[in-house]
Structure 1
Amino acid sequence: MAKSPRKKFRLSLCVSLVAMAMVAGCGGGNSLGEASAPVDGTPAAAPAPSTGSISLAWVAPQTNADGSTLTDLAGFRIYYGTASGSYSQVITISSPIATRYTIENLPPSTYYMVLKAFDTNNNESQASAELSKTIN
């Protein structure tokens, strides 16, 4: 079986980034966010570790790089990691109509990410501009 020729398509994505720090757990503190010791003098439990999430939103490409109409968009891939230009994690979104995704339960760090579209032959677009977000 002959392999289909690779075609390039333009990833006209306007990617926006919203990061939200979520505290995994609640309680054990006062209104100032300070841990309070129990009345009996035993030490207070350690606070629950915090995690965060990053929400991405984009506009799907409509054309191939040659200007022709894109008719076989299959989905998107989010590449992310904790070093600029080095993406150790990949999330595949197998829906051509998806325009948003939230990466959840991320431990504190600075994350770098790019988005690529792919077609039914698994050809990927060029990456979007790299985005970064720090989760404290």
Structure 2
Amino acid sequence: MDEAFHVRQQVVNFFTTVILSFVFSLILSACGGATSSDPSGAGAGVSVTNSPTAAILSWAPPTTATNVAGYRIYIGTASGVYQQPFGQGYSVGNVTNYTLMGLSSGTRYYFAVTAIDTLGNESSYSNEVYKNIP
């Protein structure tokens, strides 16, 4: 088999791992009224600060992918509809938590995370979580 096939197979394996890891690892544990759209409650949590205009998102990294270079966060005010087009989310580097500041009172925000590999490929969205800003 040629090298291009092996590279494509590695990319497919990476995204399969990342997607499965995110689906089962990103949930919301609430502080001040935040909830999760994932009813299973599986995996590591996304916690939210007590600050009325901030949210701290946390997620577990993929357990088998070794070539994760970073993550992007997507935010919106309607489920599945993000302010940033796919591929243009907030690039937060290779960290597994991030604080979003300056959120508007009286608004429900929805969040999703993607992983970026060392070749620049982006995974699909994680499961979505949300927080109500009082």
TM over 0.5: yes
Q: How does 1:30-41 map to 2 (within 5 A)?
A: none
Choose which of 96, 99, 103 in structure 2 pairs with 1:106. Answer: 103
Q: Indicate the percent of aligned positions where both proteins have the same amino acid.
A: 37
Cα RMSD (Å) of the superposition?
2.1
Post-superposition Cα deviations, 1:36-75, rounded to whole Å, max 9, x if no partner, equal xxxxxxxxxxxxxxx5111111111133xxxxxx232100
Report the structure, 1 or 2, having the larger strand content. 1
Indicate the residue corresponding to 1:52 in structure 2.
53
Amino acid at match of 2:74: Y
Q: Following superposition, which runs of at least 4 residues in structure 1 exceed 4 angstroms of deviation?
A: none
Alpha-carbon separation, structure 2, partners of 1:88 and 1:18:
21
Instruction: For structure 1, list consecutive stretches of 5 or more residues without a partner in the other structure.
Output: 23-50, 64-69
Aligned length: 98
Q: Aligned partners of 2:83 and 2:119: how far apart in 1?
A: 23
Unmatched 5+ stretches in structure 2: 27-44
1:89-121, Cα deviation, whole Å (9 max, x unpaired): 4211222xx121111111121001111111011
Aligned to 1:129: 127
TM superposition shift of 1:17: 2.5
Which residue identity lines up with residue 79 of structure 2 in the other structure?
S
Larger % of helix: which? Answer: 2
**Aligned residue in 2 for 1:84:** 79
* Cα deviation, residue 124, structure 1: 1.4
Contact kept, 8 Å, 1:19 with 1:135, in 2: the verdict is no
